[in-house]
Amino acid sequence: MLNIGHYSFSSRLLLGTGKYPDFKTQKEAVEVSGSEILTFAVRRMNIFEGSQPNFLEMLDLEKYTLLPNTAGAKTAEEAVRIAKLAKASGLCDMVKVEVIGCDKTLLPDPVETLKATEELLKEGFIVLPYTSDDVVLARRLEELGSHAIMPAASPIGSGQGIINPLYLKFIIEQTKVPVIVDAGIGSASDAMIAMELGADGVLLNTAVAGAKDPVKMALAMKMAVEAGKLGYEAGRIPRKETATASSPLEGLSVK
Amino acid sequence: MLNIGHYSFSSRLLLGTGKYPDFKTQKEAVEVSGSEILTFAVRRMNIFEGSQPNFLEMLDLEKYTLLPNTAGAKTAEEAVRIAKLAKASGLCDMVKVEVIGCDKTLLPDPVETLKATEELLKEGFIVLPYTSDDVVLARRLEELGSHAIMPAASPIGSGQGIINPLYLKFIIEQTKVPVIVDAGIGSASDAMIAMELGADGVLLNTAVAGAKDPVKMALAMKMAVEAGKLGYEAGRIPRKETATASSPLEGLSVK
Amino acid sequence: MLNIGHYSFSSRLLLGTGKYPDFKTQKEAVEVSGSEILTFAVRRMNIFEGSQPNFLEMLDLEKYTLLPNTAGAKTAEEAVRIAKLAKASGLCDMVKVEVIGCDKTLLPDPVETLKATEELLKEGFIVLPYTSDDVVLARRLEELGSHAIMPAASPIGSGQGIINPLYLKFIIEQTKVPVIVDAGIGSASDAMIAMELGADGVLLNTAVAGAKDPVKMALAMKMAVEAGKLGYEAGRIPRKETATASSPLEGLSVK
Amino acid sequence: MLNIGHYSFSSRLLLGTGKYPDFKTQKEAVEVSGSEILTFAVRRMNIFEGSQPNFLEMLDLEKYTLLPNTAGAKTAEEAVRIAKLAKASGLCDMVKVEVIGCDKTLLPDPVETLKATEELLKEGFIVLPYTSDDVVLARRLEELGSHAIMPAASPIGSGQGIINPLYLKFIIEQTKVPVIVDAGIGSASDAMIAMELGADGVLLNTAVAGAKDPVKMALAMKMAVEAGKLGYEAGRIPRKETATASSPLEGLSVK
């Protein structure tokens, strides 16, 4: 089980809700993925105005836990404001803190992320900060009391996968709360590698929403995350530079 | 379906039979893996002498297709002799041609592999040659009439995974018969990446047999191969150097 | 020229002064390297007590600019104290801020590094902060007024080279002051790649001091940094997936 | 010294002669590179017809050893014919055997390369076969008596650099004659890495001819090859997963 704050989830795949070709595909992809946690940009969702269609309305909200994110915030203050709006809607008490510090890379601002995390923790939120793969920053975020740490595999939407598996591994090893690898996942094997490194979950959006067949990719992702967890637990063989026979033949007679 | 010669298989995971800690674990791993094709070193199996225990005897041979390999052969002549021994046993009409040209790397000898493949095809075998990732060699092997091509991901038992995805991709793109990535797989994500590149199957042994928990790893591999196939079919997003917002926020009012 | 604060250097290779087998080798390596900037741990150097041998005493200090670092500091306060000790010695007005946040990875603490950098800039130091490859953190350090930014290629002494060339490239592109890649360099090609990415300089220590032949490696590093700068300026060819003939042969008759 | 057949060279950088923007740039790049061996496509050069301009005529041929290649050959027979044409011109007794087996990847045909190499060795040529990085194929080519082995780093003109350093390393370790890494070099660091792996030389063309500033890139390549050789000899530090302090501080008092 993936335990975050007072929640428990069987699925370790978290899905974003942006950029799907249409609501029907999105709904099907979400169902197939087995995800129990859906993230959405508070500023994007029309939760405050009924005039426009809204994907969340189409969902059976009994089945999903919503994880609003503060996408669009560039300061801690903005992130806190957005998080409070989300909470006020009554839909959720969790928040993914996302404070972008660079428009080109969409990588997070460490200082503002720390501030927003601290403030929202004080306010009683269940806080999951989105962070770079800075090892010590992840530690500071955990020390503040974050309920999970969400390091980026690579820039949001880039599909570059895990650029720096070493730093992710360091973060995973040092962190006692769940580590959910977030952003940059391009293929199902990227999600699997995150889990094989020991991550507790993976959050992705574009890799499914932007695939040629989002529903099929959602299934691939579900299986990849589950298989990656199994692979981590099963304990892989060490890498060796040279070869080792699968079936050693010393002393055998037939030749 | 994976079609090789006159055979059709639902599973795309081929398992070797060497180096398991014990027969019970092996049997369970094989069952969990869903594999329908088991490869074994002819020289290793005690199919010719009843005095020693034999894993194959423990299997319900109705459920599995045996793929004997010519491990131990260093010349085409030896490989042909070993293949004929296997066929004479009545267990199989397929053979994986494996002619090692280097004791340190266990990489195959291109010239002897070509010769053995040609000879065994003439003799009516269903032939699956184990080869390096040399792109033109793979083409020559296909032109001879091979029923599948088995390029190495990296040295046997090394667990290094796919060192050269580009050459594997070239081989997969040019080959009309099945391409089964063979040797070097270390983790379940390695197997998945092979499938995401478009491979038709994956053969591995040490990655399961040598894992801390072979049965759990066998399940991870089964799922990885299936998920990799799905991921290939689903069409992944392109890699981009810079980021792209999951939920574009232009023109939105809440801030 | 590499311009840092009021200094100008022709060499873009900065050398550390730790872990050499002996002072004679060290002196020769430093000379051969062409380095003009030598970094040293203030806490390590016996600049405050004359009883022990001291490599700095062996140098013609007219030829080198000293760059004391605050290695050993775990807080901004400690780093500031160490920097002031170094300045009080009269040897230097530059300082490399190094505040370690993790004993295992020796990766820097972003918060304390920011604090120490801010404080030392106020005190009039020429400040070069050692940082992770967090893109936004590097920007924040530049905004404070840092005279150069020193992102880590990989953990200190690990010899892993540049794990994340993308983030280094982002940092180089956004930064107006010099970017000096620091820590993790293992081979001369690692230093060269840093320069090909557009870095202004490279700082390394173990890669030379720990080489089998430190003097020869120092020369390799000098050439690698120079060649890398040239290679960056010369503008490399793009990467292509498929091949392009060096000598196109269309329409030629001899065959 | 790089010894190939009865030749000895101080430079370890071999240059191709195709695709330069103009002869003047080419001449300057060649001079700056320090190369002593120039390769050219026999079929491309107008050595047999005086009507068109010819780069070779512009060179002081006392200073360079020509290495004609059989580019354009798709069979051993064609390669042998081209090589004989080159020898008949009196310009050279060396030949780079290049028999392409795939128009898309320009990767060599192992069988035809072996045949052509064998035939040309019998004819008394100094033979340098261009080969994939197939480890056993390289061994077979050496056993025939080749005077050097030229494995590809990646497809010709692709600029992908060294895709499979492991196989190159295996080839270098097993080969007693010179190993010259050929094809695929994109940046000066690629050339350097080849030398750091222990190669005896590097052959490249597009990486210089296609650079924005070919003359500057030629100099970068010259330095990279020399520095790579030094780096190899100097013995690099091992890679470690975790960090090691440059200046250990245990037991030091200043804090």
Contact A133, B221 (CB under 8 A): no
pLDDT digits (tens, 9 = 90+) for A150-185: 999 999 888 999 999 999 999 999 999 999 999 899
Q: In Å, how far is C44's CA from the nearest CA of chain A?
A: 24
Record the tokens describing residue A73, joined without a space. Answer: 């915030």
Which of A111, A118, A136, A171 best tests the C interface by mutation, with the highest count of C CBs <10 A? A136
pLDDT digits (tens, 9 = 90+) for C69-126: 999 999 999 999 999 988 888 777 899 999 999 988 999 999 999 999 999 999 999 9
C51 pLDDT band, cuts 50/70/90, is low
d(CA B218, CA D204): 45
Residue D107 to residue B136, Cβ atoms within 8 A: yes
- Answer yes or no: is D234 a known binding residue: no
- Answer yes or no: is D50 a known binding residue: no
Q: In Å, how far is C62's CA from the nearest CA of chain D?
A: 24
Q: In Å, how far is C164's CA from the nearest CA of chain A?
A: 6
What is the distance, to the nearest Å, from the Cα of residue D181 to the centroid of all Cα atoms in its chain? 5
Max distance between CA atoms of chain B, in angstroms, equals: 81
D254 pLDDT band, cuts 50/70/90, is very low
Is A96 one of the catalytic residues?
A: yes
Nearest to A110 among C137, C166, C170 (CB): C137
Instruction: Please report, as a single letter, which amino acid is at residue C99.
Output: V
Q: DSSP label at D42?
A: T
What is the distance, to the nearest Å, from the Cα of residue C60 to the centroid of all Cα atoms in its chain? 22
- Whether D158 and chain C come into contact, CB under 8 Å, resolves to yes
Mean pLDDT, residues D77-81 = 95
Listed ranges A249-253, B44-48, C40-44, C233-237; the one with the highest mean pLDDT: C233-237
pLDDT at C90: 78
- A–C: how many Cβ contacts below 8 A? 86
Nearest to C242 among D158, D216, D244 (CB): D158
Residue A6 has pLDDT above 80, yes or no: yes
More confident call, A104 vs C232 = C232
Residue D184 has pLDDT above 90, yes or no: yes
- Whether C187 and chain D come into contact, CB under 8 Å, resolves to yes
Mean pLDDT, residues C228-255 = 77
- A–B: how many Cβ contacts below 8 A? 263
Residue C239 to residue D158, Cβ atoms within 8 A: yes
Residue D205 has pLDDT above 50, yes or no: yes
What is the ipTM metric for this complex? 0.91
CA of A190: which chain B residue's CA is closest? B189
pLDDT at C46: 56
List residues of C with catalytic annotation: 96
More confident call, D61 vs D141 = D141
pLDDT at D46: 55
pLDDT at B51: 58
pLDDT digits (tens, 9 = 90+) for A204-244: 999 999 999 999 999 999 999 999 999 999 999 999 888 77
pLDDT at D73: 94
What is the distance, to the nearest Å, from the Cα of residue B41 to the centroid of all Cα atoms in its chain? 14
Percent over 90 (pLDDT), chain C: 72
pLDDT at A52: 57
d(CA B157, CA C71): 42
Mean pLDDT, residues A102-122 = 95
The mean predicted confidence, pLDDT, of chain D is 90
- Answer yes or no: is C251 a known binding residue: no
Residue A45 has pLDDT above 80, yes or no: no
pTM: 0.92
Residue A134 to residue C102, Cβ atoms within 8 A: no
Residue C27 has pLDDT above 50, yes or no: yes
Which of D99, D189, D205 best tests the C interface by mutation, with the highest count of C CBs <10 A? D189
Chains that touch B (3 or more CB pairs under 8 A): A, D
Residue D252 has pLDDT above 60, yes or no: no
pLDDT at D45: 64
In DSSP notation, A127-148 reads EEEEE-S-HHHHHHHHHHT-S-
pLDDT digits (tens, 9 = 90+) for D38-52: 998 887 665 555 555
Percent over 70 (pLDDT), chain A: 92
Residue A136 to residue C109, Cβ atoms within 8 A: yes
Residue A105 to residue B189, Cβ atoms within 8 A: no
Mean pLDDT, residues A93-111 = 93
pLDDT at D255: 36
- Answer yes or no: is D113 a known binding residue: no
CA neighbor of D226 nearest in space, from C220, A86, B142: C220
Q: In Å, how far is A222's CA from the nearest CA of chain B?
A: 8
Residue A220 to residue B230, Cβ atoms within 8 A: yes
pLDDT at C58: 74
Contacts of A107 (CB under 8 A, 6+ apart): A100, A101, A132, A152, A155, B243, C134, C135, C136, C170
Residue D254 to residue C206, Cβ atoms within 8 A: no
Q: DSSP label at A237?
A: P
Could you tell me where the beta strands, DSSP code E, fall in chain B? 2-4, 7-9, 13-16, 37-41, 65-69, 94-97, 126-131, 150-151, 180-182, 201-204
Ranges of chain B with pLDDT below 70? 44-53, 247-255
